[in-house]
Every structure is written in structure tokens, then in C-alpha cells.
Amino acid sequence: MAQWERDERLARAFLELADTLKDGFYLVDFLHVLTDHMIALLDVSAIGVVMIDAQGRLVDVTASTHTAHQLEEAQIEFDEGPCKDSCARHEQVGPVDLSEPASVVRWPRFTKAARKAGFGGVAALPLRLREEVIGAVNVLHVRADGLHPAALRLGQALADAATIGILHQRLSHDQAERVGQLQTALNSRIVIEQAKGALGARLNIPPDTAFERLRAHARSNRMSLTKLCQQVIEGRVAIETFGAPPGRHHP
């Protein structure tokens, strides 16, 4: 990415992360904006986002890839990992070299799962505003030395901007709507997973490819990913819109 492209992308990232009072705000879509910008600007392999629910539990909200999504679910199931530590400590965790014995001692099951998924390094950035932490961002790289301090500082700035945007949006709603926001996000995640599965099965493509095609279509048509996935499930969008199955060509 050329420097002018990077500068333009950076400006657009902070502008979009501040724009949370528009009509039709969807938390999952907003967090996909965050993960897209982080992937592009931090030069990392994958991003995952977990948030804290009303009972203080971590919930997996979104991820940039199917593999990262599975790892986020494993982290919550194992009750160990960088995001859990980041939320508890209100601070950045890592970067951690997952090949080092210390990471195995610290997070034995998470480390094994992350390495099996092909990741060599991980860090977690809190979604925080002063003393309030609403979740954390998992930053993953296939190389153990791929997470640079400058990139993580930028990542924290983006995470801080996203947190301010989310909290600002919450303040404009009553308490019941605030509690419901995360549940709506989890419902959206289910819709996205269903659409991803349907698209993958119909086109005979991997989940990550299906996910990327859905996101690309939503971006290019300036529409909500959640709404697009709902339309796919309901059959209101032709599967062929997203390409032909491998080995089949359009006339």
C-alpha cells in the first residue's frame, strides 16, 4: 500500500468509526468495519472481537476469518487466552510468541488451538474508555515476529475510536436498548453464519471464501452485511450473484 493510500485509509477508518449515530446502526457491521481497517492498516493475518455481556461474560461477536472465529469460540470455551486477560487487566496483552514455552504455560489449550490454526503470534487490545472495558480485539499473525509495536499502537488507537463510537451510540438509547444491542449483534452473527454456510454449500467453497464474498458484495453495494445475509437465507438474492461453483463456468 502506497503512503498516500495508507493515509487515506487511516483517515477513512477514524471517520467511519466515529459515525455511529446514523440510522440502521448494526453492531456486527460496525465491528466488521473495524476488522477490515485493522487488517489493511496493521498488516496482520486475522482479527477477532469479543465483548462483555450484561452478566460480565465474554461473547464472541465477530472475526475477519472463519478460522479466527473458531479460535475466538475456543478461547471462550477454554476460559483462557489473550482477550480474557486483556479484559481483566484493562490493558494490552502481548505480543506473544506462541512457539515459546511461556505461552504454553500461560494458555495451554488456547496456544495449542492457535498453533493448530496456523498462527505464530498473538496480541489482545482492550476496547476501553478510561476505566470502562467493553471487550477486546484479538490480533493474530502467522509469524511469531509479525506483530510490530508501532502496528499495535495504531491498533489500540483504532480500538479506542471504536469504543468511543459504540459507547456514544449506547448513550443515545435507553437502558433496555443498550442491553439488547449485544444480543442483536449475536443474532446477527447467527444470520451471517447461516448465510456463509448456505453460500459455501451451494458454491462448494470454503467458509472463509464464502464470508469474503458476502463482505465484498455488501461493501461494493454499500449495504449492511447483516441485511445481505438475511436476504441470502430468505432466497431474495440469487446465489449465482456470488460466483459459480469451482469447475463450472458461465456461458
Each residue's pLDDT tens digit, 194-249: 888 888 888 888 888 888 888 888 888 878 888 888 888 888 888 778 876 555 44
What is the per-residue pLDDT for 181? Answer: 64
What is the rounded average pLDDT of the residues 104-124? 95
For 223, phi and psi rounded to 5 degrees? -130, 160
For 45, phi and psi rounded to 5 degrees? -85, -35
Is 133's pLDDT higher than 90?
Answer: yes
The residues, ordered by sequence, that sit 6+ positions from 22 with a Cβ below 8 Å of its Cβ are none
How far is it, in rounded angstroms, from Cα 177 to Cα 115?
39
C-alpha cell at 90: 484493562
Is 167's pLDDT higher than 50?
Answer: yes
pLDDT band for position 177 (50/70/90)?
low
Higher pLDDT, 226 or 176: 226
Does residue 149 have a cis peptide bond before it, meaning omega lies within 30 degrees of 0? no
**pTM to 2 decimal places:** 0.74
C-alpha cell at 22: 446514523
Largest CA distance in the chain: 59
Percent of the chain scoring above 90 in pLDDT: 44
C-alpha cell at 147: 506483530
What is the per-residue pLDDT for 111? Answer: 95
Q: How many helices (H) and strands (E) does the chain have?
A: 10, 5
Which of 161, 137, 217 lies closest to 10 in space, CA to CA?
161
